[in-house]
């Protein structure tokens, strides 16, 4: 999937005050009343309000929409969910939008909908950066989830992994925006609709209805709204399936960034979660460093790695804002080019992709030096919203209020009818669960030998704050250095695959100081590597450097692993992905990314190579 630059919608209003698109020469909703149209066409048309709403007493209900616009249909649906005492326990609303509004323009539009002021202000407060991909926003303590897919509908819809219970077909008029009403879009909608799913639209154009019918929907006309005589109601053949039986008790093994994040996202869905940690407190492994770097990493081809890092960074920022107690500082990250060729690549990526300036911009050497407060050798990427996170505080915040059992070293798992027993080395029972999440880094391979997780040993050097000049951002260039946290700057980090040595080595400090000098020439002058303290961590590395997220071969056995050196960027989003897999909910990442993270990818690659 190539990078698809997002061009924002231009704010305009028709003479009657209705939001209007000059690009498509069409209004966003009926002049007879936008909220009333949303309720009549989309909510009533999908039987979500009125007599016996379809979503009542459901565990989870999913709405899929084409054309988010200014979000009126979402806000109306959210309000209807609030007003229904028998509402579904969780509501997912997934919407595709090629030209989203900027947040400032949304607020101007929202001012015209006073009945929705409480909800619209919450939406505006967390409105995402206008970059391609999926953006997941949580409301109502996680009970209402909005997933925005920014980009062309024909490209984005096939990448959605969900089973929609209701579909809102709401683009600009077919004559104005035919791409939104194409055969490819209708086929993608049908494929992502659950049996018995309903669809509604204000349009009853004959050609459009013919092609919807050809895609597989059964159609009927109903009385329209306002000046429209008819509207469309449709249904996917089949009976609405019974909701899947989900595990009730879930054991998470490991209380580092992976395990704590998995536990937090699972508990947010109401699962009975117990965390088993061998150590006496959380974050005693690779998640125990004082400060880690938090920023994305773009690529010219917008690779899966780059897309996952961007999505993880943006979702992670929202997670930091939502979970109290995480020590962090979004002080900005300066990613200095390695050499002239890399500098030109950095410059070209920003020129071609045109990301929002508050997410990323390229700065020439002089400006980079001014930002750093120290002379640097090359131009750089500047991520103003990046920074550092204290991993132990993230783990503790994720685990707040949860059942965490420290000193509980799980030696092996034993399958029993419908679940698992967690056993200590002496055979004593530590706990029982319907499902188990292995988030215990490299120790997981002892339990599941075929899990390809290997050790990556890394040393972070601790530089006393008083020994160097003040430095207030994060800088990276084949290494990194952070601002002072608890009296030390963290500089690193070494990486030695397969090395399990726990000894502090002078050569590692020398390597880190060499990287520091490449990043900030002369900054560490006079530091004696033999006098430095540091911390060794053992990162869980996957063969392709992507996380491992999903189901293992045995029923009820899952893993969240392989974070390597990027765990702080990946943890919250990958945990959300895992929780959605377990709960059977719409995924927060595209289908190709989800497949690229699946544990089964390694076996499939071996099969293709004829090794299995």
Q: What percentage of the chain reaches a pLDDT higher than 70?
A: 99
User: Are the CB atoms for 29 and 18 separated by under 8 Å?
Assistant: yes
Dist. CA 539–CA 258, nearest whole Å: 12
DSSP for residue 127: P
| pLDDT band, residue 19 (cuts 50/70/90) | confident
Assigned token pair, 429: 């029972």
Q: What percentage of the chain reaches a pLDDT higher than 90?
A: 91
User: Are the CB atoms for 77 and 93 separated by under 8 Å?
Assistant: yes
User: Are the CB atoms for 259 and 410 separated by under 8 Å?
Assistant: no
Asked if residue 319 has pLDDT above 80, the reply is yes
What pLDDT, on the 0 to 100 scale, is given for residue 606? 73
- Annotate 377-405 with b (16+ C-beta within 10 A) or e (fewer): bbbbbbbbbbbbbbbbebbbbbbeebebb
- Please write the tens of the pLDDT for every residue from 467-492: 999 999 999 999 999 999 999 999 99
Asked if residue 496 has pLDDT above 80, the reply is yes
**Cis amide prior to 347 (ω within 30 degrees):** no
C-alpha to C-alpha distances, 53 to 43, 50, 61, 166, nearest whole angstrom: 9, 6, 12, 12
Dist. CA 51–CA 71, nearest whole Å: 25
C-alpha to C-alpha distances, 514 to 39, 55, 283, 293, 479, nearest whole angstrom: 63, 61, 28, 19, 9
Asked if residue 612 has pLDDT above 60, the reply is no
User: Are the CB atoms for 249 and 393 separated by under 8 Å?
Assistant: no
Asked if residue 343 has pLDDT above 80, the reply is yes
Name which residue leads in pLDDT, 390 or 27: 390
Mean pLDDT of all residues belonging to the chain: 95
What pLDDT, on the 0 to 100 scale, is given for residue 608? 77
Average pLDDT score over residue span 555-560: 97
Dist. CA 358–CA 344, nearest whole Å: 21
Assigned token pair, 266: 């699972």
Average pLDDT score over residue span 368-390: 98
What pLDDT, on the 0 to 100 scale, is given for residue 31? 61
Average pLDDT score over residue span 519-532: 97
Residue 474 DSSP SS3: strand
- Please write the tens of the pLDDT for every residue from 203-222: 999 999 999 999 999 999 99
φ/ψ of residue 333, rounded to 5:
-125, 125
C-alpha to C-alpha distances, 559 to 71, 75, 230, 258, 448, nearest whole angstrom: 35, 35, 50, 9, 10
What pLDDT, on the 0 to 100 scale, is given for residue 171? 82
From the number of C-beta atoms within 10 Å of its C-beta (0-12, 13-18, 19+), residue 406 rates as middle
- Please write the tens of the pLDDT for every residue from 248-271: 999 999 999 999 999 999 999 999
Dist. CA 437–CA 578, nearest whole Å: 9
What pLDDT, on the 0 to 100 scale, is given for residue 172? 80
Dist. CA 247–CA 437, nearest whole Å: 12
- Other CB atoms closer than 10 Å to residue 274's CB: what's the count? 21
Residue 187 DSSP SS3: helix
What pLDDT, on the 0 to 100 scale, is given for residue 611? 63
Q: Map out the domains of the chain with their CATH numbers.
A: 20-235 (3.40.50.150), 249-285+393-451+551-608 (3.50.50.60), 296-302+309-391+454-541 (3.30.9.10)
What pLDDT, on the 0 to 100 scale, is given for residue 23? 80
Dist. CA 121–CA 532, nearest whole Å: 50
Asked if residue 33 has pLDDT above 80, the reply is no
What pLDDT, on the 0 to 100 scale, is given for residue 32? 63
Average pLDDT score over residue span 330-336: 98
Dist. CA 516–CA 471, nearest whole Å: 13
Average pLDDT score over residue span 563-573: 96
* Number of alpha carbons in the 13 Å side-chain half-sphere of residue 446: 13
Asked if residue 360 has pLDDT above 60, the reply is yes
């Amino acid at each position: 999937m190539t990078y698809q630059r997002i061009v924002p919608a231009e704010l305009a209003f028709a003479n009657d005050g209705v939001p209007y698109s000059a690009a498509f020469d069409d209004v966003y909703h009926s002049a007879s009343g936008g909220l009333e149209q949303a309720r009549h066409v989309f909510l009533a048309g999908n039987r979500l309000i009125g007599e016996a709403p379809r979503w009542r007493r459901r565990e989870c209900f999913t709405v899929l929409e084409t054309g988010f616009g200014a979000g009126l249909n979402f806000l109306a649906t959210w309000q209807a969910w609030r007003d229904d005492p028998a509402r579904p326990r969780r509501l997912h609303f997934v919407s595709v939008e090629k030209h989203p509004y900027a947040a400032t323009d949304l607020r101007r539009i929202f001012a015209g909908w006073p009945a929705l002021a409480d909800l619209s202000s919450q939406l505006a407060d967390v409105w995402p950066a206008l970059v391609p991909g999926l953006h997941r926003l949580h409301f109502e303590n996680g009970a209402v989830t909005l997933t925005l897919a920014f980009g062309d509908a024909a490209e984005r819809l096939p990448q959605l992994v969900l089973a929609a219970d209701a579909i809102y077909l709401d683009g600009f008029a077919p004559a104005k925006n035919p791409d939104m009403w194409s055969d490819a879009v209708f086929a993608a909608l049908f494929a992502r609709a659950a049996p018995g799913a309903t669809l509604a639209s204000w349009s009853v154009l004959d050609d459009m209805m013919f092609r919807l019918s050809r895609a597989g929907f059964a159609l009927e006309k109903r009385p329209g709204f306002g000046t429209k005589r008819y509207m469309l109601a449709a249904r996917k053949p089949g009976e609405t399936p019974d909701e899947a039986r989900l595990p009730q008790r879930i054991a998470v093994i490991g209380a580092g960034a992976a395990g704590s994040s998995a536990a937090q996202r699972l508990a947010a869905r109401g699962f009975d979660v117990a965390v088993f940690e061998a150590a006496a407190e959380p974050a005693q492994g690779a998640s125990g460093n004082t400060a880690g770097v938090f920023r994305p990493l773009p690529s010219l081809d917008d690779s899966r790695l780059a897309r996952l890092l961007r999505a993880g960074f943006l979702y992670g920022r929202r997670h930091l804002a939502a979970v109290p107690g995480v020590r962090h500082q979004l002080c900005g990250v300066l990613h200095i080019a390695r050499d002239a060729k890399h500098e030109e690549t950095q410059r070209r990526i920003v020129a071609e992709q045109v990301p929002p300036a508050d997410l990323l911009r390229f700065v020439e050497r002089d400006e980079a030096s001014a930002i750093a407060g120290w002379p640097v050798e090359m131009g750089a990427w500047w991520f103003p919203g990046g920074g550092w996170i204290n991993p132990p505080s993230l783990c503790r915040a994720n685990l707040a209020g949860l059942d965490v059992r420290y000193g509980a070293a799980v030696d092996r798992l034993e399958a029993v009818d419908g679940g698992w027993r967690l056993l200590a080395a002496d055979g004593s029972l530590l706990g029982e669960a319907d499902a188990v999440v292995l988030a215990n880094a490299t120790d997981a391979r002892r339990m599941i030998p075929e899990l390809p997780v290997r050790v990556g040993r890394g040393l972070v050097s601790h530089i006393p704050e008083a020994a160097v000049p003040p430095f207030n951002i994060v800088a990276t260039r084949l290494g990194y250095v952070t601002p002072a946290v608890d009296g030390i700057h963290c500089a690193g980090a070494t990486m030695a695959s397969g090395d399990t040595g726990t000894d502090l080595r002078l050569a590692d400090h020398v390597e880190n100081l060499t990287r520091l000098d490449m990043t900030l020439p002369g900054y560490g002058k006079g530091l004696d590597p033999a006098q430095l303290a540091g911390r060794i961590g053992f990162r869980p590395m996957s063969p392709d450097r992507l996380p491992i997220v999903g189901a293992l071969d045995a029923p009820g056995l899952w893993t969240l692993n392989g974070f390597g050196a990027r765990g702080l960027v990946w943890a919250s989003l990958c945990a959300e992905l895992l929780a959605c897999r377990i709960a059977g909910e719409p995924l927060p990442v595209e289908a190709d990314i989800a497949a690229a993270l699946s544990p089964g990818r390694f076996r499939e690659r071996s099969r293709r190579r004829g090794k299995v």
